[in-house]
Amino acid sequence: MLVRNHYLSVDPAQRGWANDEGNYSAPVALNTPMRALAVGEVIESRAPGFQEGEFIYGWFGWQSYCAATPDAVLRRVDPSTLPLSANLSLLGINGLTAYLAFNGLGNPRPGDHVLVSTAAGSVGSFVGQLAQIAGCRPVGLTGSREKAEIARARYGYEEMIDYRQEPDVALAIKRACPQGNDIFFDNTGGIIADAAIRSMRLNGRVIQCGTAANASWSPTPTGPRQEREILTRRLRWSGFIIFDHIAEFPAAAADLTQLAARKEIVFDEEILIGLDQAPLALARLYQGANRGKLIVSLLG
Amino acid sequence: MLVRNHYLSVDPAQRGWANDEGNYSAPVALNTPMRALAVGEVIESRAPGFQEGEFIYGWFGWQSYCAATPDAVLRRVDPSTLPLSANLSLLGINGLTAYLAFNGLGNPRPGDHVLVSTAAGSVGSFVGQLAQIAGCRPVGLTGSREKAEIARARYGYEEMIDYRQEPDVALAIKRACPQGNDIFFDNTGGIIADAAIRSMRLNGRVIQCGTAANASWSPTPTGPRQEREILTRRLRWSGFIIFDHIAEFPAAAADLTQLAARKEIVFDEEILIGLDQAPLALARLYQGANRGKLIVSLLG
């Protein structure tokens, strides 16, 4: 089918795909479009089950049009309730990761104490809100005062820890979470995770969604052994990668759409206009200059 | 109620309880009986629901008789199918730990590859057999050639690694488990666990039942960071402590009784006769000289 892209996603992984060495995914070849998630409209279709005029979300690349096969499609898009761009933010991999990892692995219960690393980030901004919706008490960590304020004001966090201002992160966690934590939603690993794990209550759940704290894993960095914490606190520490859960996307997106339609969840987007803005948007993401999910619009 | 003890359990934790510092449990006070699990017969009862002549399993201590209250009872005993002593081995905390941790947290499926540390030990000897019953392929680690042979001959293990003979445990695991592992049942932590975790397949389950490899946890020992392994392999690493699961004991014991009655599971016991043998039995346990669960009989 021929897909006309309306919105393109800008994601940190794309910087790695521009290297000549693969990691999870193969590098993007020279003179081919950057691999990217996008929302597009089916213009022509010879694919069974896909109709002209239908909107879809998938791997359509940084380009105006994509000749796509059905295996590139992650989810069909309902264009009627939320702006189309929301399919790359709230209903994209960031919102879906927060929703499926937090609810699926976190097993949140009303009254649970929840700690989130990178709380003001593209995933953490939804975890705080989902924790509030579940009746939990979310506390977040972030690396600037400004982000801490946004997370408190907009993303549901009861308290925020600006870890760059804290000489002792473990002590700061103890102060912000005096009763310990039932769920730790972690995008960083490293010393923040070491301290967070030692704040867990019995039967706590640790959700490992990323390991951004360590830039290199070769050679393997060392840290305090965790096996005794896992045993004595009866933790359940799980890894989560969103693309294992594609079958769950439609139901999760439908639920998130309802939450947003009822104004129970907010999503922040920063939309740049024009295909030529895409590389600049990626640079902006790495400078930490964006306020919300970075999206490129091709409609302007 | 007055309980006449028939069999007393000898367990490694008792050595720690004889110290003057508490850990999980308070120290045993001087001039009081050693805290111990035992199987006994109700001789007299003023406790509602407990009848004379009934057999029970619980915290009745290293003594001939115990004046017990119902909160000391872990489980009622069916004396009709298996020897009473089996309530301290197969149906005691060792067998129940193997059953409830392996089946409850391991989620075993036919064809799964299972790795077990301390495979010839009091818990590991059952995990190998339960893995075979579940249609899995169990491989074990132990510290002597003799124990490796017993584990292969009696406890269901397809292959055994004698880690004291291996200069590189990671390499030995790769050789014995060329396809990786779906379940790692761990009683040790430490470098064996580090290597085992790096043998896990996608969605593997790690069950932390003990941390015997590190004698001291103060200061916290260091090791390779595991968060990236948890993430990229989508592991689920859980801690298990048997006394969280007392409500599940009756059903687990009933199932294990049926397995033993059908000769699908074996249990090895070494029974010493007479109360005065109890301290010697504990010493024997720490020498690693026992062949099977150490039990003291008071019937001789």
Q: pLDDT tens across A44-55, in order?
A: 999 999 999 999
Question: Could you tell me if A215 lies within 8 Å of chain B, comparing CB atoms?
Answer: no
Question: Could you tell me if A253 lies within 8 Å of chain B, comparing CB atoms?
Answer: no
pLDDT tier at B23, thresholds 50, 70, 90: low
**pLDDT computed for residue B290 by the predictor:** 85
Residue B104 phi, psi (nearest 5): -75, -45
Hey, what are B286's tokens? 């720490």
Pairing between β-strand A137-142 and β-strand A65-67 as defined by DSSP bridges: unpaired
Alpha helices in A2-92 (DSSP H): 13-17
Is pLDDT at B12 greater than 90 in this prediction?
Answer: no
B208 Cα to chain A: minimum distance (Å): 6
The closest alpha carbon to A121, from A94, A102, A90, belongs to: A94
pLDDT tier at A22, thresholds 50, 70, 90: low
Tens of pLDDT, residue by residue over A164-202, are 999 999 999 999 999 999 999 999 999 999 999 999 999
Residue contacts between A and B (CB atoms, under 8 Å): 103
Question: Could you tell me if B210 lies within 8 Å of chain A, comparing CB atoms?
Answer: yes
Average confidence (pLDDT) over A216-237: 95
CA–CA separation, B163 and B184 (whole Å): 16
CA–CA separation, A116 and A125 (whole Å): 9
Cα four-point dihedral sign A215, A221, A222, A228: positive
Question: Could you tell me if A223 lies within 8 Å of chain B, comparing CB atoms?
Answer: yes
ipTM above 0.85, yes or no: yes
Tens of pLDDT, residue by residue over B38-72, are 999 999 999 999 999 999 999 999 999 999 999 99
Stated pTM of the model: 0.94
Residue of A nearest to B211 (CA): A228
Residue of A nearest to B105 (CA): A236
Q: What is chain A's Cα-based Rg? A: 20
- Average pLDDT value for chain B: 95
Question: Could you tell me if B208 lies within 8 Å of chain A, comparing CB atoms?
Answer: yes
Chain B residues whose CB is inside 8 A of the A222 CB are 222-225
CA–CA separation, B159 and B192 (whole Å): 16
CA–CA separation, B139 and B176 (whole Å): 7
> Residue A241: which of B214, B221, B234 has the nearest Cβ?
B234
Question: Distance of alpha carbon B182 from its chain centroid, rounded?
Answer: 21
> DSSP character for B35?
P
Amino acid at B83: P
Question: Could you tell me if A233 lies within 8 Å of chain B, comparing CB atoms?
Answer: yes
Q: What percent of chain B has pLDDT over 70?
A: 99
Specify which residues A271 forms β-bridges with.
Answer: A295
The per-type count for chain B, helices as H runs and strands as E runs, is: 9, 14
B222 Cα to chain A: minimum distance (Å): 4
Q: Which domains does chain B show, CATH number per domain? A: 2-89+268-297 (3.90.180.10), 93-242 (3.40.50.720)
Question: Distance of alpha carbon A258 from its chain centroid, rounded?
Answer: 19
Across the interface, do A231 and B221 touch by the CB < 8 Å criterion?
Answer: no
CA–CA separation, A278 and A17 (whole Å): 14
Tens of pLDDT, residue by residue over B245-284, are 999 999 999 999 999 999 999 999 999 999 999 999 999 9
Hey, what are A66's tokens? 């994509």
